[in-house]
Amino acid sequence: MEPMEEETKTEHTERSSGWRAWVWENTGVAYDVAHLNRADPFFVKRSGVTWWTEIRAGTVTFLTMSFILPVNALIMSIAIGEEHKDDLVVATAVVSAVSSALMGLLANYPFGLAPGMGMNAYFVFTVVLQKQVEWQDALTAVFFSGWLFLITTILGLRRFVLSCIPRGVQLALSAGIGLFLAFIGAQPGGGMGIIVGDPVTLVRLNEPLTVEGNYDASKMWLSVVVLILTATMLALKVPGAPLVGIVFGTLIAWAECWARGPSASALDYPFGECADVSQTGLNGTECFCYAPERVAAIPKIDTAGAFSFDFIQKK
């Protein structure tokens, strides 16, 4: 055994006594931060990987989960208001960044954390719209539920509840969340457009559409090609397969509009007529590209602390 490993094991043994051992055994809260060292930060070398692998994996994780930034803001703005959409984007980004950083620093797990798609839909459509609860009151309930969840974790109740759930149900929950996200991605609008709503069967496959000049059809077929390509590379264990698929689809969309121009483009992304910077396409047509007004700006946090206890008085 290497000297560093012996030293780390000794430190871990010393820390695994007294109240710290009780915390670990009863709550699962990690207190050992031996991975925060200069010799081998986050035990990357010990894990048999390289920093380049970790950076590449982190990039893929970010690209695959970054959809939550606009989607969560879009869903939450239905209840809170369109004027607060920028606030919601900032809140989603801050919560995701802080949670992911704490997961890596404290637990040494390469997990990306972000607001869940199921809870935001429940918040908007069930609590606010259906139950007619003011969104400020609902946010207050979310705030206290977060503290309640933290307390149950510290007291060990969370681990006890999880131990009562059968292993099969736990695996089914993970699979169900994956299917739910796939269902959202397959829908039209911001998704692939493979499925559409149906008054009889609720969901059906989208009808074949002509690609020529049809944005929805072009986006659908491009998404299908990228999906098949990515799945094939994953099956062949190609390194960075999700990232390659994302880059491939993006370049195809850019090149198509750049070559044909916005008037003849079937995809019309990321170029559009509403931009303020124009360039010339490969075939001589005028092609407009989106140009951000600024690279960075002071984030809006107008909704921070927008709690309300009026629901107590109403009772």
Summarised one tens digit per residue, pLDDT across range 160-195 is 888 888 999 989 988 887 888 788 778 876 678 888
The whole-number pLDDT of residue 172 equals 93
Contact 76/123 with Cβ under 8 angstroms? yes
Chain mean pLDDT for the chain? 75
Helix (H, G, I), strand (E, B) or coil at 286: strand
Cis peptide before 270 (omega within 30 of 0): yes
Lowest mean pLDDT of 15-29, 48-62, 97-111, 278-292, name the range: 278-292
Average pLDDT of the residues in 205-224 = 69
Please report how many Cα atoms fall inside a 13 Å half-sphere around the Cα of residue 292, on the Cβ side: 4
Average pLDDT of the residues in 75-81 = 87
Which residues, 6+ apart, have CB-to-CB distance to 218 below 8 Å?
211, 256, 266, 267
Evaluate if residue 227 carries a pLDDT over 80: yes
Using CA atoms, how far apart are residues 287 and 279, in angstroms rounded to an integer?
5
Average pLDDT of the residues in 31-40 = 75
Helix (H, G, I), strand (E, B) or coil at 50: coil
Plot region of 276 (φ>0 → left; ψ -120 to 50 → alpha; else → beta): alpha
Evaluate if residue 134 carries a pLDDT over 70: yes
More confident residue, 253 or 285: 253
The residue whose two tokens read 């690609």 is 211
Average pLDDT of the residues in 103-124 = 84
Average pLDDT of the residues in 214-221 = 70
The whole-number pLDDT of residue 36 equals 80
The whole-number pLDDT of residue 27 equals 54
The whole-number pLDDT of residue 256 equals 73
More confident residue, 232 or 260: 232
β-strand partners of 271: 289
The whole-number pLDDT of residue 287 equals 45
Q: Which long-range contacts (CB under 8 A, 24 or more apart) does 79-83 make?
A: 79/123, 79/124, 79/128, 79/129, 79/135, 79/138, 80/135, 80/303
Q: Which long-range contacts (CB under 8 A, 24 or more apart) does 154-159 make?
A: 154/27, 154/29, 155/26, 155/27, 156/26, 156/27, 156/28, 158/27, 158/28, 159/26, 159/27, 159/28
Closest CA relative to residue 231, chosen from 182, 172, 180: 182
More confident residue, 34 or 114: 114
Evaluate if residue 231 carries a pLDDT over 90: yes
Average pLDDT of the residues in 218-242 = 88
The whole-number pLDDT of residue 19 equals 58
Evaluate if residue 286 carries a pLDDT over 50: no
Evaluate if residue 31 carries a pLDDT over 60: no
The whole-number pLDDT of residue 302 equals 63
Helices (H), 108-201: 117-121, 135-154, 157-164, 167-186
Contact 254/245 with Cβ under 8 angstroms? no
% residues pLDDT > 90 (the chain): 7
Average pLDDT of the residues in 21-37 = 63
The whole-number pLDDT of residue 235 equals 94
Q: β-strands 286-289, 277-280: how paired?
A: antiparallel
The whole-number pLDDT of residue 291 equals 42
Using CA atoms, how far apart are residues 118 and 99, in angstroms rounded to an integer?
18
Triad 182, 187, 190: Cα angle to 5°: 100
Evaluate if residue 244 carries a pLDDT over 50: yes
Helix (H, G, I), strand (E, B) or coil at 198: strand
pTM exceeds 0.75 for this model: no
More confident residue, 55 or 211: 55
The whole-number pLDDT of residue 285 equals 44
